[in-house]
Amino acid sequence: MAKEVVKRIKLQIEAGKATPAPPVGTCLGPAGINIQEFCQKFNDATRDKMGDVVPCEISVYEDRTFDFVLKTPPAGFLIKKAAKVQKGGKKGANEIVATITIDQLREIAATKLPDLNAYTVEEAMKIIEGTARNMGIAVKGLNDQEMMEQAQEAQREEAEREKREEELAEMEAEAKEGTSAEVEVIGKEETEENTEE
């Protein structure tokens, strides 16, 4: 009879570097499994992937034993690694922070294919290209010109928006000055009327 799974836990841990310290310990401790045993098995299984972040799905059974399945590294991690950047652009496709080649895109797509909702490497490449675009990373010869134009357009729009905001701030300041001047004039007229009575 198959053992019943009571809990599934998903973690992303750097290959070969699982330790009982947080976040591993804090996630697995409440499940009641042997954390040291998990760390040892995970580190042995991922030793050949050192330097990569490896997602792991852990199935915890009612007798507190466990199994785990290793997944491919996150697409964002692989894209940043290929582009040699620490993080993607803050403005997404409106800011290009790096460029990768079509060959690098194909390699990432082939790596991620088992975990993607795609049947061919070409379909997977489209998915990875979309992820790269959202991170501000262009693909040379595929979408780099389009993204460059989009980034320039975004810069122009941002400059126009800043200019409009400055003009609006000036108009508000002028309006405030005009209002306070009117209040003073009204105040003087009232005092003159009061003294005449």
**Which of 47, 70, 93 represents a domain boundary (last residue)?**
70
- Residue 65 sits in the same domain as residue 81: no
Helix or strand (DSSP H, E) at 3 = none
* Position with higher pLDDT, 170 vs 1: 170
- Residue 48 sits in the same domain as residue 141: no
Rounded-to-integer distance, Cα 37 and Cα 77, Å: 27
DSSP 84-100: T-SS--TTGGGS--EEE
Domain range for 162: 74-191
Residue 32 counted as domain residue = yes
- Residue 127 sits in the same domain as residue 183: yes
Quick one: tokens of 32? Answer: 């009641």
Residue 196 counted as domain residue = no
Rounded-to-integer distance, Cα 41 and Cα 65, Å: 13
Around Cβ 34, how many Cβ atoms within 10 Å?
A: 14
Number of domains in the chain: 2
Residue 26 counted as domain residue = yes
Tell me the CA distances in angstroms from 167 to 15, 157, 162, 171, 180, one per residue in order.
53, 15, 9, 6, 20
Helix or strand (DSSP H, E) at 122 = helix 121-134
Instruction: Express each pLDDT in 113-152 by its tens digit.
Output: 888 888 898 899 889 888 888 888 888 877 667 777 777 7
Residue 197 counted as domain residue = no
Residue 128 counted as domain residue = yes
Nearest Cα to Cα of residue 143 among 133, 151, 153, 134: 133
Helix or strand (DSSP H, E) at 161 = helix 144-196
- Residue 108 sits in the same domain as residue 46: no
Instruction: Express each pLDDT in 163-189 by its tens digit.
Output: 888 888 888 888 777 665 555 555 555
Residue 136 counted as domain residue = yes
- Residue 102 sits in the same domain as residue 40: no
SS3 111: helix
Note if the pTM is more than 0.95.
no
* Strand pairing category for 53-61 and 5-14: antiparallel
Instruction: Express each pLDDT in 82-99 by its tens digit.
Output: 888 888 777 776 777 888
